[in-house]
Structure 1
């Protein structure tokens, strides 16, 4: 049996934390959610810079970021969420999902639950 997947998110961001709590309550998160501030990023094959830039999903020695991390989260939850996650992996929808993820990420400080601490540094946009 493989280890449980790990979801790495920005624990200082109210919006990100709210999204993780939503995934736990409503989607059925089947991963260990760890704030980037306490995660062993090196063990996951990630850098702090990448973890500050996007949510990460680590599973079976592979690392997914951004929209593809969200897709993996949805797939792991099973029906009905898994279908949406699978669609997000298709070539055209993968691009659309990536664009949508970047739009949300760049504006997470303005979204419900967001605070000034949620802002992504300009260098990452």
Structure 2
């Protein structure tokens, strides 16, 4: 069981991701933007951060940069549904140190496989 922070500005995405993770035995918290995520990370211990990349305010890339400075060992799994021919946000997230990247829509098996690759089930 891992403690996982889910960061996405869309409630429905948070609901879905948390449901999938909780059904696999993980404990979740949620933040609706990067700034709220930073507050929670300062207050609680997490084994993994799952973050959307494109959000209002501090986005997932900003959150990833922030975490690389403050907690470089904390793994981050970044995801997005947006694509741009001139800027691959998932590739950029990987270069910033994301432990993994996923494209929306998130499928249960793909999400859990990525999570369990990063945070073994025995955590």
Using structure 1 for the length normalisation, give the TM-score. 0.33
Higher-Rg structure is: 1
TM-score (norm 2): 0.33
- RCO higher in structure (CA 8 A, sep ≥6): 1
More helix by share: 1
